Amino acid sequence: MPSEDFVAPALVTLDEPPAERRACIDFLLDLAVDAGRVTDRSAARDALLEREASTPTGLGNGVAVPHARTDAVTAPTVAFARSDRGVDFDAPDGDPATLLFCLLAPEDADEDHLEVLSRLSRSLADPAFRTRLAEADSERTVVDAIREAVA
């Protein structure tokens, strides 16, 4: 699946998200809702919160990737926000997340969902990629960085 299909400027914001984890997940989810990617916000939210409750999605190095598979989305979707103050996602290193992703995929998109998550996770292990996202001055710059990383 081409990365252009699941990331777009409408799914990215450089505005400060809420500092509380659930509110931050709602903030990221609303990017997908507003972009027309979600058919049932409540079901998508439930799937994200259920996943978060089973295993927190803080990866460390200032990164969190709440994610879920749900038929409440129309296509695999990546939403992004960044935070100056950080949001606690129970990362293994204890650091708050400043680079925040939300990955949603339909139930039948298992392989695509896992491949995007895998490629994104590998890219996020690279300090240069994290710096590029942290210093991005526009939504388009973030989209371009994600497309390159996941392609």
What per-residue confidence (pLDDT) applies to 3?
Answer: 44
What per-residue confidence (pLDDT) applies to 2?
Answer: 46
What per-residue confidence (pLDDT) applies to 39?
Answer: 97
Q: What is the mean pLDDT of the chain?
A: 92
What per-residue confidence (pLDDT) applies to 141?
Answer: 97
What per-residue confidence (pLDDT) applies to 27?
Answer: 98
Residues of the chain with pLDDT under 70: 1-4, 110, 112-113
What per-residue confidence (pLDDT) applies to 5?
Answer: 77
What's the rounded Cα separation, in Å, for the pair 30 and 45?
Answer: 10
Give pLDDT tens digits for 57-77.
999 999 999 999 999 998 889
Give catalytic residue positions: 67
Report helix, strand and coil shares of the chain as percent, to nearest 5. Answer: 50, 20, 30
Give all domains of the chain, ordered by start, each with its CATH number: 3-150 (3.40.930.10)
